[in-house]
Structure formats: C-alpha cells, structure tokens
Amino acid sequence: MIAKALQSDQTKNLVIAALSPKLQALIADTHVEDGIVTFLCSSAEKATLVRFDSIDLLSALRQHPKLGHIKKIQVRVVPTFLQTPNQSNHFTTGNKPKALESATENNNQINKISRLTAEQLEMLAQNLGSQPGSEELKASLEKLAKRG
C-alpha cells in the first residue's frame, strides 16, 4: 500500500512537471489514479482552458516512458471556497483559500452585471409584446436588469 502511494505521488509529480506554466497557473490540484489524471480548477473558465489543452497534454504524457499508462484526463471544477487547504494552487502561490470570504466575494461579483447589459435587458423588457407568458418574462428581465 505504501509502495502504491509512493508510485502515485511520483506519477503526480511527473504529470505536474509536464505541465506548461500556463496550465500550472490554471490548475488548483491534480490527482492520478488508475491511469486517469484529474485536474481540479477553481472556476469553469479555467477548466475550459485546461480542457482545450488536454488532448495535446494527453499525447505528451503518453510519450513519457513512465506515464504511458495514462489513458484519460478529466477536468473538474471545485470552487475555492469548497477546496480543502491542501487543494490551494500550490503550483504558483501556495496561498490557502479563504473559505467564506472568497465565497461571498465570488457570489457578489458573479451576481453583478454591467450597466450596458442592464440597460439592454431593461429595453428588451419594455419592448415585449402582450403575448401569454410575456409578463413573467418581462418581470424576470426587469429583476435581472436591477443587478446592474
């Protein structure tokens, strides 16, 4: 069991070393198990960028003599407020996530929309006809526009 854990840790370190600095900055943590590499990212945007490069990365990993057994790459989103302390972005900063403070800040930033978007939503709501169901849509658009 100890030998398997050491081998897994060595494999993880080889995978991390194979990552470009760009990818290292996007990934919060890495897990390797049964030939599957799982990258954890703190946002959907970062996960999308990692997924975009994952095909090339998988090819590069398979060419490495000690990583030829890797058959799949998975990318998962784990927001920083849900990460455990050892899942912080240890590749670049080594900072630990601030649990609830980060969650509150992220939610406040996500819920706000730009003034231009708010104005466009308001105009769309005003221009809706009187078709059945349009009153609910109009109320929803107006409510959303108030976030700007």
Banded pLDDT at 103 (limits 50, 70, 90): very low
Q: What is the pLDDT of residues 109-134, one digit of tens each?
A: 555 778 888 888 888 888 887 777 77
Percent of the chain at pLDDT > 90 equals 12
| 62 occurs within a structural domain | yes
Whether residues 21 and 67 fall in one domain:
yes
Whether residues 64 and 133 fall in one domain:
no
| 130 occurs within a structural domain | yes
What is the domain extent for residue 131? 115-145
| 106 occurs within a structural domain | no
| 66 occurs within a structural domain | yes
What pLDDT does 73 receive? 92
| 108 occurs within a structural domain | no
Whether residues 85 and 139 fall in one domain:
no
| 34 occurs within a structural domain | yes
- Calculate mean pLDDT across residues 18-22: 87
Q: How far apart are CA 121 and CA 143, in angstroms?
A: 9
Whether residues 15 and 71 fall in one domain:
yes
Q: How far apart are CA 60 and CA 114, in angstroms?
A: 41
Torsion of CA 12, 13, 17, 18, to 10 degrees: -30
CATH code of the domain in which 74 resides: 3.30.300
Dihedrals φ, ψ of 12, to 5°? -60, -45
Q: How far apart are CA 95 and CA 142, in angstroms?
A: 40
Q: What is the pLDDT of residues 25-41, one digit of tens each?
A: 999 988 888 889 999 99
For residue 76, list its beta bridge partners: 40
Q: Which residue has the higher pLDDT, 128 or 89?
A: 128
Q: What is the pTM of this model?
A: 0.53
| 11, amino acid identity | T
| 31 occurs within a structural domain | yes
Residue 79's closest CA among 49, 106, 52, 54? Answer: 106
Whether residues 17 and 43 fall in one domain:
yes
97 pLDDT higher than 60: no
Whether residues 17 and 90 fall in one domain:
yes
Whether residues 69 and 129 fall in one domain:
no
Task: Specify the number of domains making up the chain.
Answer: 2
Percent of the chain at pLDDT > 70 equals 78
| 19 occurs within a structural domain | yes
